[in-house]
Amino acid sequence: MDKKVNQEILDKLTKVCICNAISRSKIKNAIKEGASTVEEINKVTGSGSCGCKGKRCSHKIEQLLKYYGKDNL
Ligand code: FES
């Protein structure tokens, strides 16, 4: 398997929001489709809306926004 396929599999398996089982791939797709803040991503994906109310996932989403935001996807 090539590196891109491995990354896609890892993105699907890695849960960013554990409370709602939201994968990194869903977060990356939301960023790709224009979400540019944690609140926008939460609204689109359902992350941050349950259990810990985003205490565990907000900082991970911020990191993904910094890394994959705008032109980096
Ligand atoms: S980990 Fe996202 S709401 Fe708890």
Q: What percent of the chain has pLDDT over 90?
A: 84
**Is 3-72 a CATH 1.10.357.10 domain?**
no
Written as six digits, the tokens of 17 are: 């929001």
Domain boundaries, the chain: 3-72
- Ligand 1 atom 1: residue of nearest CA: 17
**From ligand 1's centre to the CA of 50, what distance in Å?**
6
Task: Report how far apart the first and last C-alpha atoms of the chain are (Å, whole number).
Answer: 20
Which ligand 1 atom is the nearest neighbour of the CA of 55?
4
pLDDT band at 1 (very low <50, low <70, confident <90, very high): low
Q: Which of 52, 60, 62, 64 to mutate to test the pocket of ligand 1 (most atoms within 8 A of CB)?
A: 52
Q: What is the pLDDT of residues 11-46, one digit of tens each?
A: 999 999 999 999 999 999 999 999 999 999 999 999
For residues 6 and 59, what is the distance between their CA atoms, to the nearest angstrom? 24
pTM confidence score: 0.89
Does the structure show a pLDDT above 80 at 72? no
